[in-house]
Amino acid sequence: MKMKTLAAMALAGTLAAGPALAELVIPDLSYRTGPYAAGGTPFSDGYQDYFALLNARDGGIGGEAVRIVECETGYNTEKGVECYEATKGEGALIYQPLSTGITYQLIPKATADEIPIHTMGYGRTSAANGEVFNWVFNYPANYWDAASVAVNYLLDENGGSLDGKTIALVYHNSAYGKEPIRTLEVLSEMHGFELSQLAVDHPGQEQKSQWLQIRRERPDYVLMWGWGVMNQVAVQEAANIGFPMENFIGNWWAGAEHDVTPAGMAADGYKSLNMNRVVDYPVLADIQSMVHDAGNAAGDGSNLGSVLYVRGMYAAMLAAEAIAKAQEIHGVSAVTPAMVRDGMEALEITAARMSELGMEGIGPEFSVSCQNHGGSGQGLVQQWNAADGVWVPLTDFIQPDDSVTDPLVAEDSMAFASESNITPGCL
C-alpha cells in the first residue's frame, strides 16, 4: 500500500511551530498499475493536485489542511476493500472508489461506519435515491442518465425517431459494464430500436469475435461501456472492420486521450459522452504555478489538463465544496464524516460558483437533496479530432429522460431497501 501526504513540507513546518492541528483526511483509492492505470493515473493526479492547490493557496478548506492518503487498488475489488479498511481509521471524511465493483462492496461497510461515498458518474445507479442510500452520492450524473443522454442524442441526429434502427452495446463484462442494460432495454421498447449486447471480458484485450459480429450484423450505431485497455482495443477493432467512427459512441469513461491516440488517424471522428467540459481553465494555471512548479504534483505533470485529470480535479472540487458546506452548516472547521454527509446533501453548484473557482462551465448546475443524490443527470457529446489531437464538444449538456430513469431508480432502490431491511427516510 502506498501512502502519500500532499503539501507535506508546508504542513510539517506548521506542526513543528506549534500545537497539532486538525486535518481533513481524504483517502484516494487509486490505481496507477495494471490494465486500467491509463485511466486511474490522470484521475488521481487531478484529484490530489486540487487539494494540494487548496493547501498552498487557501491554507486548506476553512482553515484546515487537507491530507491525502493514497492506497493502490489496481482496480481490484478485494484490494479496494482492503484499502478502505486500512484508511478509514485515519479519520477519512469521504471516499471516491473510482470502481463500480469496489463501490458495491463498500456501500454496506461505509453505511455502517457512517462515512459518505461519492461515486461520480459510476457505481450503483439507484444510489441516486438518498432516502434509501443515505451515505452514497453519485452526482452530477449516473449510468442510466448516460444511457438516456446517448439515446436522446441519437434521436436528435435522426429527426426524433430511432424506429427500425439497430444499436449494439459493447460492454465491459462486469458490474460496471452491465449498469446501462436495463435502461437501454426500456428505451429500445419505447423508441423502436433493436438492441444487441456484446460482452467483453476483463481486461478487454481480445475483442475480435465481438467486432466480427458487428461487421456481420452492421448495426447503425455502437455504444460502448468500456474502461482502460478495452477502449483502445475497441477503437482499433472498429477501424479494422471499417465501422464508421461517427456512429461509434463511448460513455464518459471511454472518451479520454489515451483511448484514441493509439489508433492514430483511424480514430478520427469517434465520439463519447462527457460529464465535464475540458478547456484551459484558470484553475489549471494556479495548479501549475502553485503545485507543479513547487514540486508537489501528485504525478509527473504530464496529465495536467487532460480529460480524466480535469475530471479528477472536478471530483475534488465537489468534495471540497461539500466539506466547506458542512463547515458552514455545523459552525466548525474540523468536520466529521457525518457532517460531510450533511454538506454533500445540501450541496448546490451554481454557474457563479464554478466561475469563482476558476472552472467556468466545467459541469452543469445542480443541487442535491435527501431525495436526489444524483444531481442533474446531464452529459454532453464530444468528438475526437485526430489531426489536432483534441476532443471537440458537439453539444451542450443534454438532459436525460427522467420519465424513464426515475421509475427505474425507484424500483431498484426500493428492492434493495426490502432486501436489506432498510426503512427509507432522511437522516
**pLDDT tens, position by position, 239-280:** 999 999 999 999 999 999 999 999 999 999 999 999 999 999
Model confidence pLDDT, tens digit, residues 387-397: 999 999 999 99
Q: Buried b vs exposed e over 217-239: b needs ≥16 C-beta within 10 Å?
A: eebbbbbbbbbbbbbbbbbbbbb
CB 340 within 8 A of CB 322: yes
Return the percentage of the chain with pLDDT > 90, whole number. 95
DSSP assigned state of 70: E
Peptide bond into 27 cis (omega under 30): no
User: Residue 115 and residue 113: Cα distance in Å, rounded?
Assistant: 6
Q: How many helices (H) and strands (E) does the chain have?
A: 15, 13
pLDDT at residue 9, rounded to an integer: 33
User: Residue 269 and residue 110: Cα distance in Å, rounded?
Assistant: 42
Q: Buried b vs exposed e over 267-283: b needs ≥16 C-beta within 10 Å?
A: bbbbbbbbbbbbeebeb
Return the percentage of the chain with pLDDT > 70, whole number. 95
* Residue 109 identity: K
Backbone angles phi, psi at 422, to 5 degrees: -100, 130
User: Residue 137 and residue 311: Cα distance in Å, rounded?
Assistant: 16
For residue 82, pLDDT beyond 90: yes
pLDDT at residue 95, rounded to an integer: 98
For residue 162, pLDDT beyond 50: yes
User: Residue 27 and residue 69: Cα distance in Å, rounded?
Assistant: 5
pLDDT at residue 59, rounded to an integer: 97
User: Residue 149 and residue 401: Cα distance in Å, rounded?
Assistant: 8
DSSP assigned state of 379: B
Higher pLDDT, 73 or 22: 73
Average pLDDT across the chain, whole number: 94
Q: Which residue has the cell 438532459?
A: 399
User: Residue 172 and residue 169: Cα distance in Å, rounded?
Assistant: 10
The dotted CATH code for 22-141+278-376+413-419 is 3.40.50.2300
For residue 18, pLDDT beyond 60: no
CA dihedral sign, ordered 157, 161, 164, 169: positive
Model confidence pLDDT, tens digit, residues 41-73: 999 999 999 999 999 999 999 999 999 999 999
> Identical fold at 22-141+278-376+413-419 and 143-274?
yes
Q: Is 201 left (phi over 0), alpha (psi -120 to 50) or beta?
A: beta
Q: Is 117 helix (H, G, I), strand (E, B) or coil?
A: strand
Q: Is 24 helix (H, G, I), strand (E, B) or coil?
A: strand
Q: Is 264 helix (H, G, I), strand (E, B) or coil?
A: helix
Adjacent-strand bridge partners of 349: 366
Kindly list the domain boundaries of the chain, sorted by start residue. 22-141+278-376+413-419, 143-274
Mean pLDDT to the nearest integer, 220-249: 97
DSSP string, 389-406: TEEEE-SSPBPP-HHHHH
CA dihedral sign, ordered 101, 344, 250, 214: positive
User: Residue 2 and residue 17: Cα distance in Å, rounded?
Assistant: 28
For residue 6, pLDDT beyond 70: no
pLDDT at residue 22, rounded to an integer: 74
Mean pLDDT to the nearest integer, 362-375: 98
User: Residue 102 and residue 76: Cα distance in Å, rounded?
Assistant: 7
Gyration radius of the chain's alpha carbons: 21
| Lookup: cell for 161 | 425517431
| Lookup: cell for 3 | 501512502
| Lookup: cell for 241 | 472492420
pLDDT at residue 79, rounded to an integer: 98
Least confident of 6-10, 21-25, 46-50: 6-10
Predicted confidence band of residue 345 (pLDDT cuts 50, 70, 90)? very high
Residues near 229 by beta carbon (within 8 Å), at least 6 away in sequence: 35, 36, 38, 203, 204, 205
CB 391 within 8 A of CB 402: no
User: Residue 326 and residue 166: Cα distance in Å, rounded?
Assistant: 47
Class of domain 143-274: alpha beta
Predicted confidence band of residue 19 (pLDDT cuts 50, 70, 90)? very low
